[in-house]
Amino acid sequence: MQWLLLLRSVVGFALGGAPIAVTLFAELCTSETRGKWLLVMQGAWTVGRRLQGHLVCVISCSTSAGVHGSNRHSGSNCFATQH
DSSP 23-75: HHHHHHS-TTTHHHHHHHHHHHHHHHHHHHHHHHHHHHHHHHTTGGG--SSTT
Domain hosting residue 35, numbered range: 31-83
Number of domains in the chain: 2
Say what the pLDDT of residue 7 is.
87
Say what the pLDDT of residue 58 is.
84
Let me know whether 38 and 14 are in one domain: no
Q: Is the pTM of this model over 0.75?
A: no
Let me know whether 50 and 16 are in one domain: no
* Cα Rg of the chain (Å, integer): 20
Let me know whether 17 and 48 are in one domain: no
Q: What is the pLDDT of residues 30-62, one digit of tens each?
A: 999 999 999 999 899 889 889 988 888 888 877
Let me know whether 44 and 19 are in one domain: no
Let me know whether 39 and 77 are in one domain: yes
Q: Is 70 left (phi over 0), alpha (psi -120 to 50) or beta?
A: beta
Let me know whether 72 and 56 are in one domain: yes
